[in-house]
Amino acid sequence: MRTRLQIGWDPAEPTAVDTDVEARIDELRALLDGRRIVALTGAGISTDSGIPDYRSPGAPPRTPMTLEMFLSSPEFRRHYWARNHLGWRHMDAARPNAAHRALTEWQRTGLLTGVITQNVDMLHTKAGTRRVLELHGCYGRVRCLDCDWLISRHRLARELDALNTGFTSRVRGRGAIEVAPDADAAIDDTSDFQMVDCPRCGGIVKPDIVYFGESVPKPLVRQAFSMVDEADALLVIGSSLTVMSGLRFARHAHRAGKKLAIVNRGATRADDIADLKIDHLASVVLPRLSESQVRATA
């Protein structure tokens, strides 16, 4: 079973925001009432935390990192790590928004059984949610591709700061820096940046993030399917389901006869099979589905 991230579907023209959002929330409340819910989240849940996404209406064009690009040359990796050295700090400073906090509250009351996230921003964990399956990894770890050695991103940052004295302040002194959803930053002048190799084997180190063109670990995929199977409903939040790594779970829930609801700005690849779709911000919709409004299953 291959579980590669693929690029190849772009949403159609942006859909209109649901104007009667209260009525739509009432419908979602009725759909989820008394059911055990597992959430599948994407970048759209984190935009109100200051982390951009790739495909919501109005998002600027961005090219996601691919594994082929990362492995193509030492020069490209140096350029990537220089940008990441700045971008990861922005992601690390981000804080959960109302949508993340709502899911944590749902879990506390027994409504939410777990979260499968396509995000690498760790905001669900920061919000206090437990049983979070990070399908695409997270920004906070760095791994050697040869020997599997691990280091925290904070510790690596300290080592890179020591090797690249003044780099961060020099680049930031030129003005605002655009940050991408995968903790990359848009800068050009990286010629003097120094990167480290694995101290154990000398291999290539890479953020513990699944890049486009890279396989999602099969044990994670199996665990995610199990989480969907254990629930009565799948709620997709902030994802266009462009890549198969997320779409497969929506299709699986639909085939299994489970309720499928979507809260997302813009079109998704599962709109045609969803029981309910709300085109609105997750940070608006989710907090209104409080424990007093949606009952957990007995």
| Active site positions, annotated | 136
Any known ligand binding at 147?
yes
Largest CA distance in the chain: 60
Any known ligand binding at 219?
no
How far apart are the C-alpha atoms of 14 and 48, rounded to whole Å? 19
Any known ligand binding at 89?
no
Tell me the two tokens of residue 212.
Answer: 């486009």
Any known ligand binding at 266?
yes
Any known ligand binding at 84?
no
Any known ligand binding at 60?
yes
Any known ligand binding at 223?
no
Any known ligand binding at 52?
yes
Any known ligand binding at 48?
yes
Using alpha carbons, select from 238, 216, 188 the residue that is nearest to residue 51: 238
> Which positions ≥6 away from 181 have C-beta within 8 Å?
43, 46, 51, 52, 53, 54, 62, 119
The dihedrals phi and psi of 230, each to the nearest 5 degrees, come to -75, -20
The dihedrals phi and psi of 38, each to the nearest 5 degrees, come to -115, 135
Any known ligand binding at 246?
no
Any known ligand binding at 138?
no
Any known ligand binding at 54?
yes
Any known ligand binding at 45?
yes
Any known ligand binding at 177?
no
Any known ligand binding at 2?
no
Binding residues for NAD(+): 42-62, 118-121, 238-240, 264-266, 282
- Residue numbers in the known binding site for Zn(2+) are 144, 147, 198, 201
Binding site members: 42-62, 118-121, 144, 147, 198, 201, 238-240, 264-266, 282
